[in-house]
C-alpha cells in the first residue's frame, strides 16, 4: 500500500523449527488452493486500498468544440452630421484566400445575430476641441484611435479582416478619392470611400456648430461606421442590392437608407459605450450629439437616400442607449422604420 513500511524480520527470541509432518495429497492441494485464494484476496485488497474517488484523467481527452459558429459575445457596454456618401468596394473575397474574410450578408450577417453583443466600455481621451485645421486633425486622429480600439477587437472576434481606415484631411475646395472627385460643402463634412476616411475642415461648419465636440465626434463615428460595414462585408452586400435595383429606384434608395441608418446606429453605439467612462467623452458631449441628430437626414438635405430626420435620430439613439449591435440591424427592419 502507498506509504506502508516494508515487512521487517521477526525480532523475538530464537526458536527451533520442527520437521514438518507429511501431508496427504488432498491436504496439499487444499493448502495450495487456500494459498492461491489468500493471494487473490490480498491483491484485491491492495487494489481496493489504492483506489481513489477521483477518476484518472485521460491525457488525450479534450472538450468537444462548441456547436455555435459565432464567437462568445463580447462584454456589453453601458449608457444608456451631415451624412456623407459611401461607395462599394472593388475588392471581392478570393475563394482561394486564407485567413479572415468578409461575409457578404445583410440581415443575417454574423455580427448582427447575438442579442447581447456590444462594444466594451472603454476610456477615450481626446484633445480639447479647437476650431482650426490643426486642432481638428488632432481631435479626429485621437478619435480614430478610440474607434479602432472599440471596433477592431469586436470585428476580429468574428474572424473579420479588420484594418484601420486611412485618415485624410483635405484642405482644398475639392478632393480626389477612388469614388471620384468630391466637392467640399455642407453635404461632405466627412466622407468615406474604400478604406479611406476624409474629413475636410471646411465642411465641418465650425462657424455654425462652434465648440461642440460631441457633434463632430458623432459625425466622425458615423463615417467610421461605414468602415465597420466595409470590413464586415455589409457594405459590399448592400451595394450589390443597390446596383441590382438601380441607385435611384425606390428599392435602391431604400437599401441606401438602410446602410446609412445602420452607420448612424454604430455611431450611437460608440458614444454610448464611451460616455462617462473616465475619459473626455463627457455627458455634455453625449447630450449635444443626441439632440443634434434630429437636425440631420433627408428632411434637411432634401434627398431620399439617408432616412428622415426622425429616423436618423431614432437609429442613432437606439445604438447609444442599448449598445447592442443586434439593435442596429436596419436590414431586418420594416420599411416604415427606414423611410
Instruction: Please count the other Cβ atoms lying within 10 Å of the Cβ belonging to residue 60.
Output: 5
- How high is the pLDDT of residue 27? 41
Radius of gyration over every alpha carbon of the chain, rounded to an integer in angstroms = 35
Phi, psi angles (nearest 5°) of residue 54: -90, 120
SS3 39: helix
What tens-digit pLDDT sequence spans the chain (339 residues)? 333 333 332 222 333 333 333 333 444 444 444 544 444 444 444 333 343 332 222 222 222 222 233 332 332 333 323 334 444 444 444 444 678 999 999 999 999 999 999 999 999 999 999 999 999 999 999 999 999 999 999 999 999 999 999 999 999 999 999 999 999 987 788 999 999 999 999 999 999 999 999 999 999 999 999 999 999 999 999 999 999 999 999 999 999 999 999 999 999 999 999 999 999 999 999 999 999 999 999 999 899 999 999 999 999 999 999 999 999 999 999 999 999
- How high is the pLDDT of residue 99? 87
Q: Are 82 and 305 in contact, with CB atoms under 8 Å apart? A: no
Quote the pTM value: 0.74
CA–CA distance, 250 with 305 (Å, rounded to integer): 10
Amino acid at each position: 500500500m502507498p506509504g506502508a513500511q516494508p515487512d521487517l524480520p521477526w525480532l523475538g527470541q530464537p526458536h527451533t523449527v520442527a520437521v514438518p509432518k507429511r501431508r496427504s495429497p488432498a491436504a496439499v492441494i487444499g493448502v495450495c488452493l487456500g494459498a492461491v485464494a489468500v493471494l487473490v484476496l490480498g491483491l484485491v485488497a491492495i487494489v481496493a486500498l489504492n483506489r481513489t474517488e477521483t477518476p484518472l484523467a485521460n491525457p488525450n481527452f479534450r472538450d468537444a468544440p462548441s456547436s455555435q459558429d459565432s464567437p462568445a459575445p463580447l462584454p456589453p457596454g453601458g449608457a444608456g452630421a451631415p451624412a456623407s456618401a459611401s461607395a462599394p468596394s472593388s475588392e471581392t473575397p478570393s475563394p482561394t484566400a486564407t485567413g479572415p474574410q468578409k461575409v457578404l450578408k445583410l440581415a443575417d450577417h454574423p455580427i448582427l445575430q447575438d442579442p447581447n453583443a456590444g462594444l466594451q466600455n472603454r476610456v477615450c481621451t481626446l484633445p480639447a476641441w479647437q476650431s482650426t485645421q490643426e486642432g481638428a486633425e488632432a481631435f479626429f486622429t485621437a478619435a480614430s484611435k478610440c474607434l479602432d480600439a472599440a471596433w477592431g477587437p469586436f470585428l476580429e472576434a468574428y474572424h473579420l479582416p479588420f484594418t484601420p481606415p486611412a485618415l485624410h484631411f483635405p484642405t482644398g475646395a475639392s478632393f480626389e478619392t477612388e469614388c471620384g472627385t468630391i466637392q467640399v460643402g455642407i453635404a461632405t463634412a466627412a466622407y468615406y470611400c474604400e478604406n479611406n476616411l476624409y474629413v475636410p475642415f471646411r465642411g465641418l461648419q465650425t462657424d455654425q456648430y462652434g465648440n461642440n465636440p460631441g457633434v463632430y465626434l458623432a459625425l466622425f463615428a458615423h463615417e467610421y461606421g461605414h468602415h465597420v460595414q466595409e470590413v464586415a462585408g455589409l457594405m459590399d452586400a448592400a451595394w450589390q442590392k443597390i446596383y441590382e435595383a438601380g441607385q435611384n429606384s425606390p428599392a435602391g434608395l431604400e437599401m441606401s437608407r438602410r446602410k446609412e441608418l445602420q452607420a448612424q446606429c454604430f455611431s450611437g453605439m460608440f458614444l454610448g459605450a464611451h460616455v462617462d467612462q473616465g475619459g473626455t467623452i463627457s455627458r455634455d458631449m453625449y447630450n449635444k450629439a443626441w439632440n443634434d441628430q434630429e437636425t440631420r437626414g433627408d428632411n434637411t438635405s432634401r434627398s431620399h437616400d439617408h432616412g428622415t430626420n426622425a429616423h436618423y435620430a431614432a437609429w442613432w439613439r437606439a445604438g447609444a442607449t442599448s449598445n447592442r449591435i443586434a439593435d442596429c440591424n436596419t436590414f431586418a427592419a420594416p420599411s416604415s422604420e427606414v423611410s
